[in-house]
Structure 1
Amino acid sequence: MADIEVFGWQTDYASGYYRVQLPLQSLAMCGRVTVCGVYMPDLVCDNPNTIIVGQRICDPHATRVWQSLAADGHRLVFEIDDDLWNTDPSSALVHKYFADEEIRTNLRRNVEVAAAVTVTTEPLADRVRQWNPNVHVIPNAVPDWLLNRRPQQRDDGTITLGWGGSPTHKMDWEEHGEPIRRFLDVHSQAEIHCIGNNYARMMGLPQERIRFTPWVANVETYLHTIDYHIGIAPLRDHIFNQSKSALKVIECGALGIPVVASDVGPYRDYVQDGITGYLVRGDREWARYLSALANDSDLRAAMGEAARVRAAQQTISCLTPLWEKAVFG
């Protein structure tokens, strides 16, 4: 059996797919021997030639292991895709965890001993360069197969708005939920489908206007669950969000779904306004742009196709060379 060249140490299944599993699968397609998991096998710890990509390592036990691996001479690559030093109190559990002084110290120490750090965006790179100068900005990428998938959308005249994500978006829905609800109040043939977290319930809509899919077994199943006509991406202008990526928009684009997104940080840089979707700069624009897309199937199709072309530039096969450079140096 060939030695494991790279072990991907995941701490969560969702972002772990995009930031550990998918990149290492792509490296394996290039002939590298890679393995991923949430638990580290002894044969990885015992082989100093195995490179370890560690995602958000900050738990006390995991930190002790990480620091020991560094002392033993492993090449360590620290992966982080959120500004965990600036989480918002509205996401209470997440904020409480990452506000803990021990966790914050562990993050810093684990970044410091890594041979390289990988991040999703330039603002996040600026955050971590104070502890490690060798930072590689590698944007989020979607699997290549997603470009060939056609979502199974409703064809009964109901327009589905859709959103999917983690429990860190309460502040975004608190700020933008009301103007989205006003659109739904006027358009009785529209519904909203939330995947992962049911923020739509904050809007006080009748239950029959809301569909909710709890977080599913894995990301590929989640991607097959997306069935929107229009993707929505509300985002508050907050320091935490400035370091986020445009992943929600890229997922929708790869599926040929146009988006209406806040004109903030990652979406401002990615969405081609009026071509692949719309950027919202004021509350009234949510209803304006959602109405334009809801009332015009040809416009949805044209924008969706343009969004697919845009997303084709951010598939994992396009970005594998960046991962190879970061991991192997």
Structure 2
Amino acid sequence: MSGMVNILMVIEAEIATTHLLEQIMKACGVHGVGHRVQLLGKLQIGDITPDTIPMFVRCADPLVLPWAQLLVDANRSYAYYIDDNFWRIVGHTPLATYYRHPIIRKSLEFAISHADAVIVNSSELCRFVSSFNARTAVLPTFFDFSLIDGVQPSSTDEIRIGFAGSPSRIDDLDLISPVIELILEKYPKTIFEFAGVLPKGVSIGPRVRFFPHTGDYNAYIKFQATRNWAIGLAPLMDHEANRSKTDNKYREYGACHVAGIYSNIPPYSDVVENSVCGLLVDGAQSSWFDALAALIERPDKRTILANNAFEHVRARYDVSHVSHDWARFFKRLDERRSRDIRPLKQSSLDLKKFYRRLERLKIHLAVVYQEGGCRLVIQRIVRKIRPSR
């Protein structure tokens, strides 16, 4: 089919994933695939014209359920993008509690199982999600080199060892936290830098730096490129949720000429050639110490790994190349969608949205209660109703 394919990205909030996805969608523009972005909470029927294909991005909020039901009833095509295994999140964090809630699971599973296409970026996640929808496709990950064009790394004689991530990554840092003090003692020129999350039991000091988390991916990747890390850390605890993640750290370290040390599990074991583009290590404390020591003591090895990774990332992940695959996928989806569509009914949507908003409120209160009891619930309510100054 000729003409522009119109994709409406529907997101719950602006996070790193949505910023990344916008990069590939913008790159698809030159291939005849246009896109717009709308928040799920502000989505209106008028946003979904007959020639528009909605793509729900990581949406599990109860509000996604009435929208998915409305589209199914009207014989409208939609896609769903997911890059994490929300069913297998470990621990008892608020995030884990949220995704274990029956209503969240119901919304997530209905939206995924009825999508005309589910997009993932890893074969591990594809195997899991395919149990809900056989129309699941693995599309390649990417990196937008334009984000760091002209960015100059800061000049330093320090051997900086870095990690950046969200607070949800704190348990993964347990793999490397025991070796930090040992490395600092043995190698006086080493500095550890953490952005967004600090390992448990590790204190900020002259040789341990902390930088606040930012949800702006463009600013984050520029920050990483300027820090001039000699070594980048990519620890992942070995469990199903982590095995379903994408290879973000490898792409970022490679693009920024950083020698990376990666947990020897998917996604990294799928793409990193050990001792060529990075180092793969198991979960033992001694393995992380030995890998760090090897790269600290051999700057020539760091340079080789960093250069090889850069060339590999440039050849395999450059967004301008990868966008061809994504655009082809959306064009095939557009060709398959039914032209025998029905109008979207506002009346059937309004009542469902009302109930889902009540459910969403109950879920958030339950999560906050588990996090901090009645006191935190009251604080959050007061904060919501207090007039702004």
Please state how far the C-alpha of 1:67 moved relative to its aligned partner: 2.3
Q: 1: distance between equivalents of 2:274 and 2:296?
A: 17
Matched residue, 1:279: 280
Matched residue, 1:215: 213
Query: Do the aligned partners of 2:204 and 2:210 also contact (CA within 8 Å) in 1?
Result: no
- Structure 1 runs not aligned, ≥5 long: none
Of 64-73 and 104-113, deviating more is 64-73
Please state how far the C-alpha of 1:81 moved relative to its aligned partner: 0.3
Q: 2: distance between equivalents of 1:266 and 1:318?
A: 21
Query: Do the aligned partners of 2:16 and 2:217 also contact (CA within 8 Å) in 1?
Result: yes
Matched residue, 2:267: 266
Q: 2: distance between equivalents of 1:64 and 1:161?
A: 47
Show the 5 A alignment for 1:1-329.
5-12=6-13, 13-18=15-20, 20-38=21-39, 39-40=42-43, 42-45=45-48, 47-90=49-92, 92-145=93-146, 148=149, 152-155=153-156, 157-196=157-196, 198-200=197-199, 202-216=200-214, 218-226=216-224, 227=227, 228-281=229-282, 282-312=284-314, 313-328=316-331, 329=333
Q: 1: distance between equivalents of 2:281 and 2:266?
A: 12
How many residues matched? 322
Relative to structure 1, the CA distance from residue 209 to residue 23 in structure 2 (aligned partners, 3 Å threshold; closer, same or farther) is same
Relative to structure 1, the CA distance from residue 68 to residue 181 in structure 2 (aligned partners, 3 Å threshold; closer, same or farther) is farther
Amino acid at match of 1:173: L
Relative to structure 1, the CA distance from residue 112 to residue 316 in structure 2 (aligned partners, 3 Å threshold; closer, same or farther) is same
Please state how far the C-alpha of 1:265 moved relative to its aligned partner: 1.7
Matched residue, 2:336: none
CA shift digits 1:110-160 (9 cap, x unpaired): 0111110000111111111111111110132111325755551441x2111
Relative to structure 1, the CA distance from residue 171 to residue 207 in structure 2 (aligned partners, 3 Å threshold; closer, same or farther) is same
CA shift digits 1:226-248 (9 cap, x unpaired): 12221001111111111111111
Query: Do the aligned partners of 1:144 and 1:317 also contact (CA within 8 Å) in 2?
Result: no
Secondary structure of 1:74's match? coil
Q: 2: distance between equivalents of 1:41 and 1:319?
A: 31
With normalisation by structure 1, the TM-score equals 0.90
Please state how far the C-alpha of 1:88 moved relative to its aligned partner: 0.9
Please state how far the C-alpha of 1:219 moved relative to its aligned partner: 0.6
Q: 2: distance between equivalents of 1:258 and 1:150?
A: 18
Q: 1: distance between equivalents of 2:63 and 2:288?
A: 45
Name the Cα RMSD after superposition: 2.1
- Structure 2 runs not aligned, ≥5 long: 334-389
Amino acid at match of 1:71: D
Q: Which has the higher contact order (CA 8 A, sep 6+)?
A: 2
Q: 2: distance between equivalents of 1:24 and 1:206?
A: 39
Please state how far the C-alpha of 1:249 moved relative to its aligned partner: 1.5
Amino acid at match of 1:221: A
Secondary structure of 2:132's match? coil
Relative to structure 1, the CA distance from residue 159 to residue 256 in structure 2 (aligned partners, 3 Å threshold; closer, same or farther) is same
Amino acid at match of 1:207: G
Relative to structure 1, the CA distance from residue 7 to residue 249 in structure 2 (aligned partners, 3 Å threshold; closer, same or farther) is same
Query: Do the aligned partners of 2:53 and 2:77 also contact (CA within 8 Å) in 1?
Result: yes
Please state how far the C-alpha of 1:327 moved relative to its aligned partner: 2.4
CA shift digits 1:80-125 (9 cap, x unpaired): 00010000115x0110000101111111100111110000111111
Relative to structure 1, the CA distance from residue 181 to residue 325 in structure 2 (aligned partners, 3 Å threshold; closer, same or farther) is farther
Query: Do the aligned partners of 2:254 and 2:306 also contact (CA within 8 Å) in 1?
Result: yes
Of 252-261 and 263-272, deviating more is 263-272
Residue identity over aligned pairs, in percent, reads 23
Query: Do the aligned partners of 2:88 and 2:240 also contact (CA within 8 Å) in 1?
Result: yes
Please state how far the C-alpha of 1:4 moved relative to its aligned partner: 7.8
Query: Do the aligned partners of 2:254 and 2:310 also contact (CA within 8 Å) in 1?
Result: yes
Amino acid at match of 1:185: E
Please state how far the C-alpha of 1:68 moved relative to its aligned partner: 1.4
Q: 2: distance between equivalents of 1:116 and 1:245?
A: 19
Of 279-288 and 51-60, deviating more is 279-288
With normalisation by structure 2, the TM-score equals 0.77
Amino acid at match of 1:214: P
Amino acid at match of 2:173: W
Query: Do the aligned partners of 2:257 and 2:307 also contact (CA within 8 Å) in 1?
Result: yes
Query: Do the aligned partners of 2:26 and 2:34 also contact (CA within 8 Å) in 1?
Result: no
Tell me which structure has the larger Cα radius of gyration.
2
